């Protein structure tokens, strides 16, 4: 039964990883295109780059914290 829990946990991590990368990229893309139409100033590309960097940062922190074992923290206390 432990194997099934591990599969579900891995699936949840992969789903959350995809969402945490896509959301900042899409938000910055839509905001950049909207802002470019409003102010007629090229801000689309820098905002997309910021969105990609934010998505990578989110993925890094998510994977880093997913590898931590909660039982190790209990043993330290």
| 3-state SS, residue 40 | coil
∠ CA 22-51-15, rounded to 5°: 20
pLDDT of residue 35: 94
Whole-angstrom distance, CA of residue 61 vs CA of residue 14: 13
Q: Give the residue carrying structure tokens 């969402």.
A: 19
The predicted-structure confidence for 5-46, as pLDDT tens digits, reads as follows 678 888 888 999 999 999 999 999 999 999 999 998 899 999
How is residue 3 written in tokens? 């194997």
pLDDT over 60 (residue 1): no
How is residue 48 written in tokens? 């997309």
pLDDT of residue 12: 86
pLDDT over 60 (residue 50): yes
How is residue 6 written in tokens? 């591990």
All structural domains of the chain with their residue ranges: 2-67
């Amino acid at each position: 039964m432990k194997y099934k829990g591990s599969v579900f946990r891995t699936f949840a991590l992969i789903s959350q990883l995809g969402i945490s990368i896509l959301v900042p990229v899409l938000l910055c893309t839509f905001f950049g295109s909207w802002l470019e139409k409003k102010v007629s100033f090229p801000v689309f590309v820098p905002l997309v780059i910021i969105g990609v960097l934010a998505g990578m940062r989110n993925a890094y922190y998510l994977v880093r914290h997913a590898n931590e074992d909660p039982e190790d923290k209990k043993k330290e206390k």
